[in-house]
Amino acid sequence: MLKILNRNKEIYFPTMNGTIQIDIQQMIMPETSQLIITHLNSDILQELLQIDNKKLTVFVSYELYYLLQKLQHVQLLRPINSFDQFKIMPTDFPQQFGELTLTAFNNDDSLTGSIALLIKNGEETTGYCAAFAIAGFHLKRIHRWQKAFRQAEITQFTTNRFMLQSESTGACNGEVRMMNNWESCLIRTPEFFGLRLCPWNPERIYRFLSLAATHQRKVFLTPIYYDLIKQFTPFGKIDVACQTKAIIKEAEQSNSIWQVIDEPTLKSINKTRFDSAYSYNCYGLAAIIQYLDKDQVEKLRQQLGNPKIAII
């Protein structure tokens, strides 16, 4: 049966084959033998970097596994010592964990590799998704797992408290709005300027580059980011260059865009902290979702087949 600790609200299931934990709210429990990560945030990443339990198995989606692997390869993420303990959680196929049956579905919470989980334990069937965007890219993915949850007649749907906050933090909510803001930035800043990008979602960076190319703006990426994006997709017709001292003048003269990391490469650069909600701590849940009001909560409940809504 699903258990949630009142102390730190960890989701865990004691089974005949050991304790299954889903995500990390505060800590990896000492008794956890199998850990399932459905999304990436700063707290989860910090715990993953410090794993010292050699008997622990960590399950992640293929997309998240690939992202972590490439981030380590280009040295945007320090090596995870326990990476050999990671396994890929397949999507759309039920997986048996003792008497527990878990089915993962590709989700879109605007974080690469996120999944939603359908959890069956005897006669009890529940659904879990930390957060998701209610507008933006990959809505078909969201509708797909919602339909699966509804057809499974889940009795409870568990989500993160950020999903139901009544007031926005003022961050850029949703992928569509983020891209609209980026396009506005390209239009209102015709001169050479710099921006900060987050490495945790290479697909989003590629969309930034594509939109910049549409507006005939060339983007100069740091060598590490340049190598990272090439790992995921070829640049093709997008006008992107790798930053070197020799092309600073070219960038200035062409009114291009220069990626800024810690300190500005040029003292006179006009900096724009675009996508700053997704800084290096990769904590994006509070910024990527659109907060649900009462009507939206009721709509979500109907989409899922009227289960109880639980918040952690």
Predicted TM-score (pTM) of this structure: 0.84
Crossing angle for the helix pair 223-232 and 202-214, to the nearest 10 degrees: 100
Token pair of 237, please? 């017709």
Cα separation, 230 vs 226, whole angstroms: 6
Q: Which phi and psi (to 5°) does residue 117 adopt?
A: -120, 130
The string of pLDDT tens digits covering residues 227-243 is 998 888 877 778 898 98
The string of pLDDT tens digits covering residues 83-114 is 999 999 999 999 999 899 999 999 976 678 89
Pairing of strands 124-128, 219-221: unpaired
Residue range 172-180: mean pLDDT, rounded: 67
State the chain's maximal CA–CA distance in angstroms: 67
Token pair of 131, please? 């957060």
DSSP H or E run through 103: strand 100-106
H helices of 121-247, in order, are: 139-151, 175-188, 202-214, 223-232
Q: 101 vs 10, 96, 122, 126, 159, CA distance in Å?
A: 19, 5, 9, 11, 19
Cα separation, 285 vs 242, whole angstroms: 31
pLDDT of residue 274: 44
The alpha carbons of the chain give a radius of gyration, in whole angstroms, of: 21
pLDDT of residue 174: 61
Token pair of 246, please? 């020799």
3-state secondary structure at position 121 = strand
Q: In percent, how much of the chain has pLDDT > 70?
A: 82
